[in-house]
Amino acid sequence: MSFAALARLQQGLAALSADHLERRRAVLEGPQGAHVTINGQDAVSFCSNDYLGLAADPAIVRAAHGALDQCGVGAGAAHLISGHHRFHHDFEDAFARFVGKSAALLFSTGYMANLAVVTALVGRHGEVFADKLNHASLVDAAQLAGGHFTRYRHGDLAQLEGQLAASRAQERLIVSDLVFSMDGDVVSVDALLDLAERYDAWLYLDDAHGFGVLNGGRGGLTERARASDRVIYLATLGKAAGVSGAAVAAHQTVIDWLVQKARPYIYTTASPPVLAACLLESLRQIEGGDARRARLQQHVAQLRTGLADLKRGTLMPSATPIQPLVVGANAEAVRLSQALRERGLRVPAIRTPTVPANTARLRITLSSAHAADDVARLVDALHALS
C-alpha cells in the first residue's frame, strides 16, 4: 500500500538536494578544538563556536572529574522537585555577579531559555518587537507567546520606534540578538534601551556570541544596560564558555517570575549538575581570559587583512570571531566549502533559508586555540580557490 505522506517527504528531500540545501551531519571523533578529526579526516576547524578554546580545556575537564563523585551524572528531577543541585545554585549566583545583574537562572539550552523568557513575559495582550535577523529560537518564542508579533528591518531603529509608538499592547518586549550569528555585527544596546525606556518596554538581549568574548568576557551589555531593571540578558554556555546550557540574568523579580511561570524551565529535568560544576570553572577561565581574547582579536585582524583583496567573495564587516564571506549562490558556497575540506580546512556553507537568497556564505569562525599558521593556511587556500 502506498503512503502518500512519506512519498511527499522523499520528494521534499530530493528537492533540497537538487537546490544544494541538503544538510548532513559530520561525525566528530575526539575532543572539540582548532584541530579535529571529522569523518575520519584530520582538519583545521573554522566551524565551531569554541571561541576561547575552552571546550576541551584541561582545567574544565578536571572540574568534571572532580564533580562526578559528588553529584553523579543525571539530575534525576526537575529543578522545582529535587533536581536543583548546589552546583546549579552556585553557578547562578556567580554568573549574576559576573555580568552585573541581581539574579540569574540556568537553563539546559539557549533555545529553551528564549522560549521560557518570551512566553513567560508576554501573553495574548502583549506584543513582541523583533529584529528580522534574530535567531530562530527568538522567532519561535514570539510566535508561541500568543500576542502580537512585530518585526523590524535589521538594525532599523527608526522603524522600531514607529512600531512601538503605534502599539497599544499592555506588555511590550523588544528582543534582539546582541551579536548576530550569521553576519557578525553587534547591536546598539544603548539605542535599544533608549527606545525601551521611552515606550515602557522590556529589553531582552540574546548574547549567544558575545559572552566570554566582549568587554573582558562579561558580554555585550553596556554599564547602563547592566544597571537597568528593564534589561534581561541571556548568555549561552556552549560557545565561548565551552560547556552547555544558557543563563538568563535580570532583576530578582524577573527571575522569581520565571521560576513560577517559565514552562520550559518548570517542566523538564534539570541539566546534569556536573555541567554546572564545569561552568563554574569555565567562568573562572573567562574572567582571567584576557590573553585568550587578545589572541582571538589578533586572528580576526590577520584574517581580515589577508582576505582584503580576495577576488571572489565579500567579507562582511565584523570585529567578532564570526567572519562571514558572502559568495552569493548556494552552489558556489557548497563548492568552496567542499574544496576547502579537501585541503583539510573545515568551513561551513551557510545557505537559504538561514540567510537571504543570493547571500550564501562561508561562515568562518575563529578561536583563540588557532595558531597564526592555521589562519594563514586558510587565507592562502581561499586565494587559491578564488
Q: What are the phi and psi torsion angles at 78 (to 5°)?
A: -70, 160
Tens of pLDDT, residue by residue over 186-216, are: 999 999 999 999 999 999 999 999 999 999 9
Q: What is the pLDDT of residue 23?
A: 87
- Contact status, residue 248 vs residue 278, Cβ threshold 8 Å: no
Task: Indicate the length of the chain as a whole number.
Answer: 386
Which residues are annotated as part of the binding site?
A: 23, 110-111, 135, 181, 209, 236, 354
Q: 58-287 has which fold?
A: Aspartate Aminotransferase; domain 2 (3.40.640)
Tens of pLDDT, residue by residue over 358-385, are: 999 999 999 999 999 999 999 999 999 9
Which residues are annotated as part of the binding site for substrate?
A: 23, 135, 354
Q: At what angle do helices 252-261 and 110-121 cross, to 10 degrees?
A: 100
Q: What is the pLDDT of residue 19?
A: 85
Q: What are the phi and psi torsion angles at 57 (to 5°)?
A: -60, 130
- Each domain of the chain, given as residue ranges in start order, spans 21-52+290-385, 58-287
Residue with cell 579526516: 41
CB neighbour list of residue 144: distance below 8 Å, 6 or more residues apart: 115, 118, 119
Q: Quick check: helix, strand or coil at residue 188?
A: coil
Which of these ranges, 17-21, 161-165, 167-171, 368-372, has the smallest mean pLDDT? 17-21
Residue with cell 541581581: 102
- CB count in 10 Å sphere of residue 108: 19
Q: How is residue 371 written as a grid cell?
A: 595558531
- Contact status, residue 366 vs residue 321, Cβ threshold 8 Å: yes
- Contact status, residue 368 vs residue 52, Cβ threshold 8 Å: yes
Which residues are annotated as part of the binding site for pyridoxal 5'-phosphate?
A: 110-111, 181, 209, 236
Q: What is the pLDDT of residue 2?
A: 73
Q: What average pLDDT does range 21-44 have in this prediction?
A: 94
pLDDT-above-90 percentage for the chain: 96
63-95 as b/e: b if 16+ CB within 10 A: beeebeeebeeebeeebeeebbbebbeebbebb
CB neighbour list of residue 48: distance below 8 Å, 6 or more residues apart: 32, 55, 365, 367
Global pTM?
Answer: 0.95
Tens of pLDDT, residue by residue over 136-166, are: 999 999 999 999 999 999 999 999 999 999 9
Q: 21-52+290-385 has which fold?
A: Aspartate Aminotransferase, domain 1 (3.90.1150)
Q: Quick check: helix, strand or coil at residue 258?
A: helix
Sheet containing strand 202-206, edge to edge, reads: 103-107, 246-250, 231-236, 202-206, 171-177, 126-131, 148-152
Is the backbone peptide bond immediately before 264 cis, with ω within 30 degrees of 0?
Answer: no
pLDDT at 80 over 90: yes
Would strands 246-250 and 103-107 be described as parallel, antiparallel, or unpaired?
antiparallel
CA atoms within 13 A on the CB side of 281: 21
Q: What is the pLDDT of residue 1?
A: 57
Q: What average pLDDT does range 255-278 have in this prediction?
A: 98
Give me the helices (H) in 41-100, please: 58-71, 86-99
